[in-house]
């Protein structure tokens, strides 16, 4: 899950932009999501590249392996 590095929670994160890129009109090639924390105003970006199976996090967000608290 993606959390805000300042607030250390995902509770206030909003996805402000989400894009899925297609290759050859069918396969999902890349996923790009832009996050904004409504509590502190931090922003960050999550990108998943299917080609290299790589996840990239930039900005004031981080990915944790914790399960969501309210799941």
Positions in the binding site for Zn ion (CB under 5 A): 4, 6-7, 37, 39-40, 42
If the CB atoms of residues 5 and 32 are measured against Zn ion, the closer one turns out to be: 5
If the CB atoms of residues 42 and 46 are measured against Zn ion, the closer one turns out to be: 42
- Please report how close the Cβ of residue 11 comes to Zn ion at its closest, in angstroms: 9
Instruction: Catalogue the long-range contacts made by 14-23 (C-beta closer than 8 Å, 24 or more residues apart).
Output: 14/38, 16/43
If the CB atoms of residues 20 and 68 are measured against Zn ion, the closer one turns out to be: 68
CA-wise closest residue to 11 among 33, 34, 39: 39
- Please report how close the Cβ of residue 10 comes to Zn ion at its closest, in angstroms: 10
Cα separation, 15 vs 12, in Å, equals: 10
């Amino acid at each position: 899950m993606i959390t805000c590095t300042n607030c250390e929670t995902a509770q206030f994160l909003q996805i402000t932009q989400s894009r899925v890129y297609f290759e050859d009109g069918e396969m999902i090639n890349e996923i790009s999501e832009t996050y904004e924390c409504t509590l502190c105003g931090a922003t960050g970006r999550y990108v998943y590249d299917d080609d290299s199976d790589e996840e990239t996090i930039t900005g004031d967000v981080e990915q944790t392996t914790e399960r969501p608290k309210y799941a």
